[in-house]
Amino acid sequence: MPYRKIIIIPLILFHIAGCEQKKQFLKETMKNMVYVKGGTFEMGDFCVKEYGTRCALSNNNASLPVHSVTLDSFYMAKYKVTYSEYDHFTNDQSLPKLKIDQTWLKKYPSLRGDDYPATANWQLSMDYCQWLAKKTSLPFNLPTEAQWEYAARNRGQDTQYGTNDGHFRVGINVPSYEQEKGYSGYYAGLYPVGKFPASPLGIFDMAGNGQEWMFDWFSDTFYQHSPAHNSTGPQLGIEKVLRGMPLGDSRKDDATPTATTMFRTGKEPLLRIFPVDVLIKYNGDIRKASESEPKIDPYKVAEQGFFPNITFRCVINAQSLPEKYR
């Protein structure tokens, strides 16, 4: 009997410690949610109206026409989801840890650091946000692109860059190539969250540190018939919307059209790496390959590891929170 007590007591203590860690994690998660009061704004490339020319990269005029959108209030994560945070999800759900492609991990192991933004395909990113929803009984989700742009533009102001002052200042509010290399060893890689000043709303890395998955399907003509209230994008699609600055883009102060708050593009949501013969079959057209090839389990795709470049954060689609979370 004493022997059994010796074994059981440590197990109970281990369980209690694990529960406390989960509580602390959820507490920190809620602490880092920023309230964004709803309102109406002119979504899209407002530079055409103000300056007679586009600020965002053309991308088939995907950021046009400018159109009025009204959003309810919501909460947005202050930071992109980190590997440390994602590990709480995979541990809780008994899932494999999120992996970086081995070639990149061997060269730049820092890219899998606890405070670096996690790269996952769209479904795995969505699953993380929905896991938070189950844990908190709050409507966590990936942000819609309307929510993301509204927040990046400080509640819909005519703000070109989602930085502390609306400008893209290399080495000051976004990193230079040299600074990025100093973090991970790679001159155009991700870097620890929160290293550069937050936006006026208190949200970090909306003009850098990789693009972010949105809830919406992507269509470069969607703005022509976008709903005016709480738009969630097209009903169907092949690619999911990405917002933010792609890694490796050339940069110069206030001259990076893909870092603007209104630039939008799409990506095959599973982040599949297609074999050469498949790409040849579809003449290198990723869209056609994605649409035509058999669908597979997003967690199977994750087994290969991801090139660390696409990130994500969550929102809470609520206009207020229960007292215990305030």
Burial class (CB in 10 A: 0-12, 13-18, 19+), 76: buried
218, 240 Cβ separation under 8 angstroms: yes
**Pick the residue with more confidence: 95 or 5?**
95
Which residues, 6 or more positions from 263, have their beta carbon under 8 angstroms from its beta carbon? 56, 57, 59, 63, 243, 245, 257
233, 241 Cβ separation under 8 angstroms: yes
C-beta atoms surrounding 66 within 10 Å: 17
Q: Are strands 39-43 and 140-141 parallel, antiparallel or unpaired?
A: unpaired
* Residue whose C-alpha is closest to residue 34's, from 166, 147, 193, 184: 147
Q: Examine the pLDDT at 13 and tell me if it is beyond 50.
A: no
Q: Which backbone phi and psi does 151 adopt, to 5 degrees?
A: -70, -45
Lowest mean pLDDT among 17-26, 104-113, 205-214, 256-265: 17-26
Q: Examine the pLDDT at 231 and tell me if it is beyond 90.
A: yes
Between CA 41 and CA 77 the distance in angstroms is: 21
Lowest mean pLDDT among 132-141, 259-268, 284-293: 284-293
- The gap from C-alpha 233 to its chain's centroid, in whole angstroms, comes to 17
The answer to whether the pTM exceeds 0.85 is yes
Radius of gyration of the chain (CA): 21
> Would you say how long the chain is, in residues?
326
Counting residues of the chain whose pLDDT is more than 90, the rounded percentage is 75
Average of pLDDT values for 212-222?
A: 97
207, 173 Cβ separation under 8 angstroms: yes
* Residue whose C-alpha is closest to residue 121's, from 316, 315, 312, 314: 312
311, 190 Cβ separation under 8 angstroms: yes
Average of pLDDT values for 225-233?
A: 95
303-318: pLDDT as tens digits: 999 999 999 999 999 9
37-49: pLDDT as tens digits: 999 999 999 998 8
Average of pLDDT values for 252-273?
A: 91
314, 77 Cβ separation under 8 angstroms: yes
3-state SS assignment for residue 183: helix
Q: Which backbone phi and psi does 33 adopt, to 5 degrees?
A: -95, 130
pLDDT the model gives residue 7 = 52
Q: Are strands 315-316 and 67-71 parallel, antiparallel or unpaired?
A: unpaired
Report DSSP state, residue 175: -
